[in-house]
Amino acid sequence: MFDYQFLIEVLVGGLLSGVMYSLVAIGFVVIYKTSGVLNFAQGAMLLFAALTFVSLVERGVALPLALLATLAIMVALGVAVERTVLRPLVNQPPITLFMATLGLSYVIEGAAQLLWGTQVHGLDIGISDVPLDIVGVFISRFDLFAAAVAGSLVALFALFFRTTRTGLSFRAVADDPFAALAVGLRLPRVWAIVWTVAGIVALVAGLLWGARLGVQFSLSLVVLKALPVLVLGGFDSIAGAIVGGLLIGAIEKLAEVYVGPLVGGGIEAWAGYVVALVFLLVRPSGLFGQKLVERV
Amino acid sequence: MDATSNPRQTLPVIDRILIGIGAVITFGVIPLAGSDYLMDAVLTPFLALALAAAGLNVLTGYAGQVSLGSAAFLAVGAYAAYNLHLRLPELPLLLDLVLAGLVAAAIGIVFGLPSLRLRGFYLAVSTLAAQFFVQWALTKFGWFSNDNPSGVIDAPALTIAGYSFTSAAGRYLFSLAVVTVATILTLLLLQSQTGRNFIAVRDHEIAAKVIGVPLLRTKLLAFGVSSFLIGVAGVLWAFAYLRTVEPAGFNLDRSFQILFIIIIGGLASLRGAFLGAAFIVVFPLILSRLGAALLGGVFDSGVLEMSQRIVIGALIIAFLIAEPRGLIALWDRFRAASAAWTGLRKTFPATDTSRS
Amino acid sequence: MRFRHLKFALGVVGVLAFAGAPAVHADEQFFPLQSYRVGPYAAGGTGFFGGFIDYLNLINIRDGGVNGVKLTWDEGETQYEVERGVEVYERLKNRLGVAAWNPLSVGIAYAMIDRITKDKVPLITVNHGRTDSTDGRVFPYVFPLLLNPYSETSGIVNYIASREGGVDRLKDKKIVVLYHGSPYGKETIPIYKLLADKYHFSVEQIEVPHPGNEQQSQWLSIRRAKPDYVVLRGWGVMNPVALKTAQKVGFPADHIIGNVWSNSEEDVIPAGDAAKGYIAITTQASGAEYPVLQEVIKTVYGAGKGNLDDKKRIGSVYHNLGIVNGILNVEAIRIAQAKFGERTLTGDEVRWGFEHLQLNPARVEALGAKGLFHSINVTWDNHEGDGRVTFQQWDGAKWKVVSDWIAPDRASLRPIIEKSAAAYAREHGITPRTSGDDPVSQ
């Protein structure tokens, strides 16, 4: 007999994991949307943020203070990246910018480990992860919390982009950089803000993922989970990142549990990519991506 | 104009002489006088990576399709050669090499199919499917590694017509010969109509279609040729350099490394692939030696290594800012300047490898 | 055209290759270290190589070397990558008086087997490496000391049996093995099957794809399978995530048994409370209370020459593994010196030392390592050396030993190892040695 309860459990677990993927993917989207850069350093930023926070806390800095300090450092990092990397590379082909962010990820990873060491750290954000038992279906409290955080983050962004002046200029740049320039928006400022926003997303994602994995070098590898989400949802759509994340999370888990045993398991590493790929063959710019012929 | 894009350009005498000298040095002087370290740890990996980069450059630089899955094709080449050698021992090694390249080409064409619908980063990220799938399959199915308990296989010795290339010099010469032949053939291909089709597809797909370039065939051919070269490079990497094959070595970092080589060396230039490979292979070694020699007593090796990582990353960014067209542009400018200075040539063709 | 830049590069590299090599004095024994202090596995690398260097320093400072022969070393960073390991090998192999290679990486070790056999220098793969290299008849220079992967498997099953009250109680029990999706992870699949058939328990083996930062589906499958025990054959970030996810699906930590690469502080600390009660196999106990550790603290760290930045890590699992590895290397040199003379030995002479590396519990106690590890008995044809294992439980702050020293059931595994070694010998045209005094054939 087919075990529907188990199916639901896998599905819910997958959707909640998907939220975690979305969280990383959003960091990519905000940058790509405004500057056309696929920022591979997002993983390194995530590592850097989490490592900075944990190291400060371990050195006896009070939690809110550590959070503020990390935030300040991420803002500084965002501004610095805009000035030293993006601005000089303006108008270069996207592939060059992509490679530059790869170089950037070396710098950030190196700096993070040089500053704070290569030790692994535990990160306890105070949620005991004893599962909730809802009519026999186990649901993780931590994942629910993470989903709530991701949801409020997205809501906050929506508010920011719709109501503030900076947010409006962000949308203007995303829609049409040339028109935005023509009406007098300062692109470098928008970029600096965008990188700052990405830094904040990295901090939030870094803390949540850090609490799941421990804070260590492997944290930077979570970008690999975000990439198929981006392909599926579209590189330039926040909504796409969320829906894509949920879909990839759910499909990945269902595939591993129900298809995996047929081929010996471990298919999660590529199942997300294949799903995204098949989908793209039908709809080449993703779920919510803009239809643009672009060249790299 | 890049030499590779003008088939009728005859080489100046001085270049022929230099090529001759280069051949004598690379085929004669180095194997006789070079240290084992130089050949085993520097030149052999350099040659393998340069060939892989040349392969990726065919796809990305010439045909304009970005791939992040190069390491997968290296792996396919290495494992195919291993299995051919194991299961059909009567085949000569050189034939194994070619067949391994063809297997890689076939897999490359399959994973190149999305390029018919996808562009840019969407295509780039979907080539990651190849990256992860191939690594998974090679680990998962014991057949590929002859059911070796730990999945790591020893590469057989390089033997051709009874002569065994087991010394460092032998392996270096073998790699050099393979890379030279492959490079010359690639050069010829790129100068043919096919090569021009690649560039047409890269520069303007619709225009290319209008003037009658078969898009489907050209794109898949680019994937095939590229994967063939990368597959052969994978055989060199596994058989001549590491002498062991394990799937973990063909990871995403390796794919990025090859992409770095062609970006830093210069897109759409085979010479660029060699320059870039030299930079990526040699530079970190020099940096680590310098660091150890200058600061080894002060800091431990972890600190040094992390500092190097920062320096390499920063240099890559600095380089992309200073010369986005790659080392090859620097090189050509340097040659133009020196030619003008010595008065050997009145004019030197301006280099333009940038696109659109 | 492209050949010209090559010359430049070669020139630069050539100069640098020779500039860095200092002269070696007559009485020194050199350890080339392919360490990894950067990258995803840096935590293990700094601990192990830190412990190894600390012990070598102890011998130099306290005893003035081994019978007056100074121990020297040089590190080359590999980041756990095979080709960097090969580069370091080629860079350091020509230094005078190379004693042995200790890469602590399966991939690098594999790439070196041909090379070190040709160069006649021993390759030590403590607790890891190629299982069939246990057969010293075929692999004269390779030493998977203390514990190879097969013995580890048997040790874990024996431990579970002892918890259940004897091997006959294993009948109808269910064990899930959660393994890392890599050659390392897959290596013991047939051994678990073999032991399951032998003891009539059922085994289900589930793969976690590398790097293992997401294990929801695997643990849901485990929850559905309702096993009595889960064996964790992990590596790196996979371990804390497994423990966290186990908690998420309500699987008790004290029924998860970690293998030898899932047994360090780095594997449990990131998991926080979820790791409390988790049990793992080990060949060396953790903690700094053993005399040899105390001497390292007093003599080496006291003199400001300690290798670990963070003194809290003294006595951690990887640090102690490094110390034990130091003891094994140094004692092999000492034993070889007794035969060949108190001077710089060749690699082949050090190999002889390893092939006679017999440290009984009394000798281990004399070395200040009683309780740190049990004993070792390497012979010319058994390069593993009958090491014993023990099990430790994480109490939230440190590891506590919870079992006796258990001997794996090596006799039933030896035939599989010999078969595999024989196949290797056939493939490579090696004539297996028939006695320890045989000249080593190529």
Query: For residue B144, what pLDDT is reported?
Result: 87
Report the alpha-carbon distance of residue C436 to residue C381 in Å, rounded. Answer: 7
R_g (Cα) of chain B, nearest Å:
21
CATH number at A82 reads 1.10.3470
Domain annotation covers residue B321:
no
Q: B262 to chain A nearest CA, in Å?
A: 11
CB contact (8 A) between residue C270 and residue A113: no
Contact criterion met (CB < 8 Å) for C269 and A216: no
Nearest-CA residue of chain C relative to B265? C2
Give the distance from residue A126's alpha carbon to the nearest chain C alpha carbon, in angstroms. 11
Helix count and strand count (H, E) for chain C: 15, 13
CA–CA distances in Å: residue C391 to residues A61, A219, B181, C285 = 37, 29, 58, 9
Residue B6: predicted pLDDT: 46
Averaged pLDDT for residues C389-397: 95
pLDDT average, residue stretch C106-121: 90
Shortest distance between the Cα of B243 and any Cα of chain C, in A, equals 6
Query: Residue A99: pLDDT above 50?
Result: yes
Domain assignment present for B310:
no
Chain segment C347-359, per-residue pLDDT in tens: 999 999 999 999 9
Nearest to B259 among A38, A99, A263 (CB): A99
Token pair 């032949």: residue: B181
Within-domain flag for B268 = no
| Domain C26-147+287-387: CATH architecture, name and number where available | 3-Layer(aba) Sandwich (3.40)
**Is residue C226 predicted with pLDDT exceeding 90?**
yes
Count up the domains in chain A and report the number: 1
Distance, C-alpha B154 to centroid of its chain: 23
Classify residue C232 as exposed, middle or buried by CB count within 10 Å of its CB (0-12, 13-18, 19+).
Answer: buried
Alpha carbon separation from C186 to B140, C82, C138, C235 (Å, rounded): 9, 19, 23, 12
Beta bridge partners of B153: B245
Q: Which of B46, A14, C103, A46 is nearest to A54 (CA)?
A: A46
A294 inside domain: no
Domain hosting A133: range is 4-282
Residues of C with CB below 8 A from A130's CB?
Answer: 247, 250
Record: fold of C149-282+391-411: Rossmann fold (3.40.50)
Q: How long, in residues, is chain B?
A: 356
Name subunits touching C (3+ CB pairs < 8 A): A, B
- By C-alpha distance, the chain A residue nearest B139 is A266
- Tens digits of residue pLDDT in C141-190: 999 999 999 999 999 999 999 999 988 999 999 999 999 988 788 889 99
More confident residue, C254 or C41: C254
* Angle formed at CA C380 by CA C377 and CA C383, multiple of 5 degrees: 55
Consecutive H or E run containing B164: strand B163-164
Please give the helix or strand (H or E) that residue B252 lies within, else none: helix B252-265
Nearest to A92 among B139, B256, B324 (CB): B324
When pLDDT is averaged across residues A193-217 and rounded to a whole number, the result is 90
pLDDT of residue C334: 96
For B35, which of C17, C35, C107 is closest by C-beta distance? Answer: C17
Give the chain B residue nearest C74 (alpha carbons).
B301
B vs C: CB pairs below 8 A? 172
Please report the pLDDT score of residue B339 as a whole number.
78
| B297 inside domain | no
Element (H, E) at C376: strand C376-377
Nearest to C176 by CA among C156, C205, C197: C205
* Interface membership of C204 toward A (CB under 8 Å): no
Name chain A contacts of B308, Cβ cutoff 8 Å: 110
Q: What is the mean pLDDT of residues A249-267?
A: 87
Instruction: Identify the sign of the CA torsion C324, C329, C334, C335.
Output: positive
**Beta-carbon separation of B38 and C13 below 8 A:** yes
Residue A95 within any structural domain of the chain: yes
The sign one gets for the Cα dihedral C406, C410, C412, C416 is positive
**Would B338 be classed as within a structural domain?**
no
- Asked if residue B350 belongs to a domain, the reply is no
**pLDDT (average), residues A200-212:** 91
Residues (pLDDT < 70) of chain B are 1-11, 149-151, 296-298, 300-301, 343-356
> How many Å apart are CA B144 and CA B142, to the nearest integer?
5
Beta carbons of C206 and A212 less than 8 Å apart: no
CB–CB contact C2 B305 (8 Å): no
Q: Is the pLDDT of residue C204 over 80?
A: yes
Q: Which amino acid is at B241?
A: Y
Q: Is residue A288 part of a domain?
A: no
Decide if A27 contacts A45 (C-beta within 8 A). yes
Task: Give pLDDT, residue B296.
Answer: 67
User: Inter-chain contact A280–B126, Cβ cutoff 8 Å?
Assistant: yes
Look at A235 and B122 and tell me if their CB atoms are within 8 Å: yes
pTM of the model: 0.88
In a domain, B292, yes or no: no
* Sole residue written with tokens 């499917």: B129
Assign A292 a pLDDT band (cuts: 50, 70, 90).
Answer: low
Contact C83 B242 (CB under 8 A): yes
Task: Quickly list DSSP for chain A.
Answer: ---HHHHHHHHHHHHHHHHHHHHHHHHHHHHHHHH----TTHHHHHHHHHHHHHHHHHTT--HHHHHHHHHHHHHHHHHHHIIIIIGGGTTS-HHHHHHHHHHHHHHHHHHHHHHH-S--B----S---PPEEETTEEE-HHHHHHHHHHHHHHHHHHHHHHHSHHHHHHHHHHH-HHHHHHTT--HHHHHHHHHHHHHHHHHHHHHHHHHHH-BSGGGGGGHHHHHHHHHHH-TT-HHHHHHHHHHHHHHHHHIIIIIHHHHTS-THHHHHHHHHHHHHHHSTTTTT--------
Chains contacting A (3+ CB pairs below 8 angstroms) = B, C
Buried residues in C252-269 as b, exposed as e (16+ CB within 10 A): ebebbbbbbbbbbbbbbb
Residue A151's pLDDT is what? 87
**What percentage of chain C has pLDDT greater than the value 70?**
93
The mean predicted confidence, pLDDT, of chain A is: 86
Q: Could you report the per-residue pLDDT of C272-296, keeping only the tens digit for each?
A: 889 999 999 999 999 999 999 999 9
Cβ <8 Å between C86 and B41: yes
Q: Is the pLDDT of residue C17 over 70?
A: no
- Hey, do C26-147+287-387 and C149-282+391-411 end up sharing a CATH topology, with the first three levels equal? yes
In a domain, B210, yes or no: yes
Residue of higher predicted confidence among A74 and C439? A74
Output the pLDDT for position A185.
77
Calculate helix-pair angle for A42-58, A223-233, nearest 10 degrees.
Answer: 140
| Mean pLDDT rounded to a whole number for chain C | 89
pLDDT of residue A220: 87
Q: How many domains are contained in chain B? A: 1
**Is-contact C368 C52, C-beta < 8 A?**
no
Asked if residue A292 belongs to a domain, the reply is no
Domain boundaries, chain C: 26-147+287-387, 149-282+391-411
Q: Which domain holds residue B230?
A: 13-251
The per-residue pLDDT for C39 is 76
ipTM, interface predicted TM-score of the complex: 0.86
C-alpha distance from B282 to closest chain A C-alpha (Å): 17
Q: Are C393 and C254 in contact (CB under 8 A)?
A: yes
Q: For A294, which residue in chain B has the nearest alpha carbon?
A: B120
Tokens 């595939």: give the residue: A255
Most confident of A129-133, B277-281, C99-103, C305-309: C99-103
Phi-psi category of A245—alpha, beta or left, where left has phi over 0 and alpha has psi -120 to 50?
A: alpha
